[in-house]
Structures are given as structure tokens and as C-alpha cells.
Amino acid sequence: MERRPDPNDRRAPLVHITEAARRIGRSRHDGRTPRLELLLARVPPERCRKVAEEHAALTRLADLAQHRP
């Protein structure tokens, strides 16, 4: 990560993700995916559908919270 000055507010820096940090994030994600797939294979399909629905609802709430007036 690197800090850059905020052009709109010089009191606070903006933090930007560097390419090196992106590679680390992708590597960690790629390492977790196979383990998560193994765990999800043990969950009944109906429960997986419910989890997906719950995730969608929570994601929508988070989006609304970020864009409130």
C-alpha cells in the first residue's frame, strides 16, 4: 500500500493498493478457494442456496448503508 495526498482534503492521506499488495491478496484468495470448496461440498444444497440468499441480502444492506444521503 502507499499513501497519497487527498486533493480535496490535505489533512488526510488516501491509501492506494499497490500491485504487490494485489498479488498478495490474489495469492491468499487462491489459496483459500480450494479449502472453501471442500467445506461447501459437505453442506446440503438447500442450505447453500439459503446462504447465497442471505449473502445477497447482506450485501444489499451494506450497499445501502454506504450510499445513504
Phi, psi of 2 (to 5 degrees): -140, 150
* DSSP, res 6: -
- Grid coordinates representing 15 are 491509501
Rounded to whole angstroms, the Cα distance separating 49 from 39 reads 15
Rounded to whole angstroms, the Cα distance separating 18 from 26 reads 12
At which residue does the C-alpha cell 494485489 appear? 22
pLDDT for position 20: 92
- Write out pLDDT tens, residues 18-62: 999 999 999 988 888 899 899 989 999 999 899 999 999 999 999
pLDDT for position 69: 60
- Write out pLDDT tens, residues 3-23: 888 888 888 888 888 999 999
